[in-house]
Structure 1
Amino acid sequence: MIALDPVPHPIDTLPLRGQPDAVALEDKGGTLTYAALEAAVGGMAHWLSGLGLAPGERVATWLPKTRTACMMPLAAPRARLIHVPVNPVLKRAQVAHILADSGARVLVTQGARFPALEPGDVPADCRIVAEEELISSDVLPPSRADTDALAAILYTSGSTGRPKGVMLSHANLWLGAISVAHYLQIESEDRVLGVLPLSFDYGQNQLFSTWAAGARVVPLDYLTARDVVKAVERFAVTTLAGVPPLWVQLLEAEWPAATAARLKRLTNSGGALTRAMVKGLRERFPQARLYPMYGLTEAFRSTYLDPSLVDANPDSIGRAIPFAEILVVDGEGRRARQGELVHAGPLVAQGYWRDSERTAQRFRPAPNFATSGGMAVWSGDTVIEGEDGLLRFVGRDDEMIKSAGNRISPTEVEEAVLSGDETAEAAAFGVADTRLGQAIVVVARGDGAREHDLRERLRRELPSFMQPARYEWRDELPRNANGKLDRAALKAGLA
């Protein structure tokens, strides 16, 4: 188990934690040692520094899990730039929004993706670079960056409007890596399969926490559950992180007993595990320790449940992770047994990029009874703290849809639905779904005669995880006293 050192370092120094000749990354192309990782990150950072950008400029990546995608979270900060990872499954409209909102000066992507972008999608002062260009024989040494300086902006959907950029410092990323590597007890001999998108804090931290422990990460873009099974066998994987819909798929897949026995650590976030899932995972992977976790991008991760407590408390989200102070606060700002989960401490992000209004709503001073000073993240989620100190999730106060591990803004879905002429009014909701956690249902005004056209258009404009599963067509949609759509009535009708 790695030492729980609370002193942060620049995130780009992570490759120095592993033994130089140990394997840091393995994929279909072979292996990369820690010494080679350090050299590659230094070369990439040197290339970026040659662009003449001012410190703090943004560099976006729109890539699958290539080696470039894995190293850019370190290379950009080493060059004193801010990394903006873009989910590779996003379509051009979402990519264009993130590039414009972040003010990205560089977009690193693949030549095959160029045709997907249309005139105006990339800002005039943003240079498009193919990932194979980022090679330099010269190496930039590790930075001595102020650990409070921004290192990354991760875009996450809000309950209203378009995705917003969460600002993360070197310290946020470093301490998150140390915290997770410590409580998961990752050892240098471990092999971590990275199946989650690197644009997610959960997916990106798999890189960081693995390298913090001097272990090996195996990045994987998969299409089917069978791909994951084969990767666990091929790369002798010991650790697998997932979200509930993935566990459903993996429990339905065929697992050779010897392959299932390789896994000694399973971690879950992005939605609660059901009792049936816990039982199924226990039966399928009897050698594995199961870590349920709760988090939000604004504070990375808040809680985890010790594997020894899972069977007796399958509905709990556990206790605070190292470096996090978790408080339960009532409507009057007092400590309570049931109330809003508030996260304080050094893992709290720096706010939303260029969005002071929404920053002020979510990032507010910690309660006066908190040990940690400064800003805290007020999650909007209601939890109960038991006599045993374990927290249990009650409900989400906002209207976010959580489907297949993705946080989806209903407003963004609605804007896409209404951007055509198939319907004039629509509202999107999440409804319980055994496979996805929540499925997207759209209630729209009309007779549904053009539902086929609407579905075809959205397949072109929205990523797969944002596609509505069902449409409910109504002659009229209810309104409240202010003339707005009565969302409560619409949702109640769905229930």
Structure 2
Amino acid sequence: MMHGAVPLLHDYLAYSASRLGEKVALVCGTQRVTYGEIEARANAIAHHLTAAGVARGDRVMIFADNTVETVVSFWGVLKANAVVSIVNPLTKSDKLDYLLNDCLPAALITDEHLHSVFSEPARKCPSLRRVIVSGPVDDAELAGLPHAVRWDSAVAGGHSKAPARRCIDIDLAAIIYTSGSTGEPKGVMLTHRNMITACTSIASYLELGEDEVILNVLPLAFDYGLYQMIMAFRTGARLVLERSFAFPAQILGVIKQEKVTGFPGVPTIFASLSELKSLKSHDFSSIRYVTNTAAALPLKHILMLQDLFPGARVYSMYGLTECKRCTYLPPEDLERKPLSVGIAIPNTEMWIVDEDDRRVGPDVVGQLVIRGATVMKGYWGKPEATARKLKPGPLPGEQVLYTGDYCRIDTEGYLYFVGRGDEIIKSRGEKVAPKEVENVLMDIPGVREAAVIGVPDELLGQAVKAFVVMEQGSIIGEKQLQKECQRRLENFMVPKSIVVVASLPMTDTGKLKKTALS
């Protein structure tokens, strides 16, 4: 496929552009951009960065929304032999300052509307040799930034070829920042080989083809969103890129208009879909597959998705930024094992270990370990955090990923997610997995979303506390919810308190933010 050379990630774009140059690769609002146009603009950005002194292995940070410029920049940075890091546009100034000082990028690519957030951190960042700003930026703003130019002048070069190739496949391609459930952001280091392996594996089980039209409402700063774009360009498909899922009714119109075939989402997106009363009037016959990750889908959401997209294959999946994807549940197994997150993705191996690092048998809960070419190289500049996650594997010199997640594997090799290691609640000397309690709450009619945490308790050590969002019009109160839990759960797992709230706190990437609950 790649003309005899060992492929690098950006060869996906070059190959699709050489075959399908006139095909629309990207739909973004009113813009429709072809593979040939994206390839030409990415080459121009690559030459501009190289001329500005960006060298092999340098980091380039993209701080922008889901836009055409972000997509072009991603490929352009790779073509410049550099390492790309996309940062969520919702990031605040002090966090951006932290990220800039953490990876010390040689260049920053951003957009004028974020000026109030990036201007001060950019001025203070000692490593920047170039700042590229898209949008209607005025001369005074530009002059106040280090080595700044407008996007239009950066892409004006017009180069038919990319700069000379300096990288090999074990060089870093990307640093993806993960907030994790605790502490400061960590930059996950991924090589070209890591990302190509993940793409090949996922595209094979999703059976992606050139005729796909993939909807992406997830931030490109989030690996789940980013890989939608990479896999679309790998197969020569079309990507429909939206800024967010803030206006569900509008997105449903886009699905119909663009004849979308693939709909990747997270539980919060599917929860807000279920609230739309007009869903039945929409024609979703074009949708061939729906994917979910970030957390196992509650049974009621699986049933809702099957009802909404009757012709679609529904994939429940689970993964971590540190290895992209761990498992997927083949759609034909949904009926049989609705609560499982599935089997290991192709070309990946997994097992469970106990607290003494011994492998355990079926149905024993322990820590999940992942082995394969998708496993990250470590956290950028954080050797101690890396050493906690990456440990020696079966082969000399090999590293495997200790996920920190508690899971079990059944006799057929299907994985069940029990809880993040740092979320397990120790109450009355017993271990309580929040996920188990959340599953029971989600099964109660009228409950839309549920989150369970442990709170300090003098008597119990930790008490189980639940936060519940009710469906519109539901009249079940906190006492009734408590009774239902007592009926369905072992004594020590029943929440000591249940609070009905209007909404649950979310991270920038649409994951539940339990650290904001108390």
Within the alignment, does 1:12 sit opposite 2:13 as a pair?
Answer: no
> Within 5 A, what are the aligned runs for 1:242-257?
242-253=265-276, 254-255=278-279, 257=281
Query: Deviation of residue 94 (structure 1)?
Result: 1.5
- Could you tell me which residue of structure 1 aligns to residue 90 of structure 2? 89
Answer yes or no: is 1:316 the counterpart of 2:340: yes
- Aligned 8 A contact 2:100 2:121 in 1: no
Segments of 4+ moved more than 3 angstroms: 117-122, 399-403, 429-436, 462-472
> Are the counterparts in 2 of residues 304 and 317 from structure 1 also a CA contact under 8 Å?
yes
> Aligned pair in 2 of structure 1 residues 257, 311: CA closer, same or farther (>3 Å)?
farther
Deviates more, 1:157-166 or 1:267-276: 157-166
Q: Distance in 1 between matches of 2:512 and 2:293?
A: 22
* Structure 2 unmatched ranges of 5 or more: 135-150, 425-433, 439-452, 454-463, 472-504
Output the CA distance in 1 between the equivalents of 2:392 and 2:77.
31
User: In structure 1, which of residues 354, 359, 366 is the aligned counterpart of residue 381 of structure 2?
Assistant: 354
Residues 44, 158 of structure 2: 8 Å contact kept: yes
Counterparts of 2:280 and 2:399 in 1: how far apart (Å)? Answer: 49
Structure 2 equivalent of residue 364 of structure 1? 391
Provide the residue aligned with 2:404 in structure 1: 380
Distance 1:463 1:393, change over 3 A: closer
Q: CA deviation at 1:8?
A: 6.0
Look up the match of 1:123: 125
Greater CA drift, 109-118 or 320-329: 109-118
How many residues in Structure 1 have an aligned counterpart in Structure 2? Answer: 418
Name the residue aligned to 2:230.
208
Q: CA deviation at 1:388?
A: 1.7
Instruction: Give, in whole Å, the separation in 1 of the partners of 2:8 and 2:516.
Output: 48
Shift of 1:40: 2.1
- Alpha-carbon displacement from aligned partner over 1:205-254 (angstroms, at most 9, x marks no partner): 00111112221111111322112212112211110101000001112222
Structure 2 residue matching 1:11: 3-state secondary structure: coil
> 1:303 aligned to 2:327?
yes
Indicate how the Cα distance of structure 1 residues 281 and 27 shifts in structure 2: closer, same or farther if over 3 A, else same.
same
Cross-structure match for 2:254: 231
Describe the shift of the 1:174–1:138 C-alpha distance in structure 2 as closer, same or farther (beyond 3 A).
same
Query: 1:96/1:33 Cα in 2 relative to 1: closer, same or farther (>3 Å)?
Result: same
TM value normalised by structure 1: 0.78
Match of 1:330 among 342, 350, 354: 354
- Identify which of structures 1 and 2 has the higher relative contact order when contacts are C-alpha pairs closer than 8 Å and 6+ apart: 1
The 1:271–1:466 alpha-carbon spacing in structure 2 relative to 1, beyond 3 Å, is closer
Q: Would the aligned equivalents of 2:218 and 2:509 in 1 still touch at CA under 8 Å?
A: no
Distance 2:84 2:312 in 1: 34
Residue identity in the other structure for 1:229: L
What are the ranges of 5 or more consecutive residues in structure 1 without an aligned counterpart?
A: 404-409, 411-428, 437-458, 473-493
Tell me, yes or no, if structure 1 residue 344 matches structure 2 residue 347. Answer: no
Deviations 1:7-50, CA, capped at 9 Å, x for gaps? 96211111134332333212234432222222222122111111
Q: Is the 8 A contact 1:8 1:170 kept in 2?
A: no
1:321-356 Cα deviation digits (max 9, x unpaired)? 122111222233332233211111100011000010
State how 1:89-488 maps to structure 2 within 5 Å: 89-117=90-118, 119-120=120-121, 122-126=124-128, 127-131=130-134, 132-133=151-152, 134-135=154-155, 136-141=157-162, 143=165, 145-222=167-244, 223-253=246-276, 254-255=278-279, 257-336=281-360, 337=362, 338=364, 339-366=366-393, 368=394, 374-399=398-423, 432-434=467-469
Q: Which amino acid aligns with 2:215?
A: L
Calculate percent identity across the aligned residue pairs. Answer: 31
8 A contact 1:229–1:259 mirrored in 2? no
Cα distance in structure 1, aligned partners of 2:467 and 2:323: 26
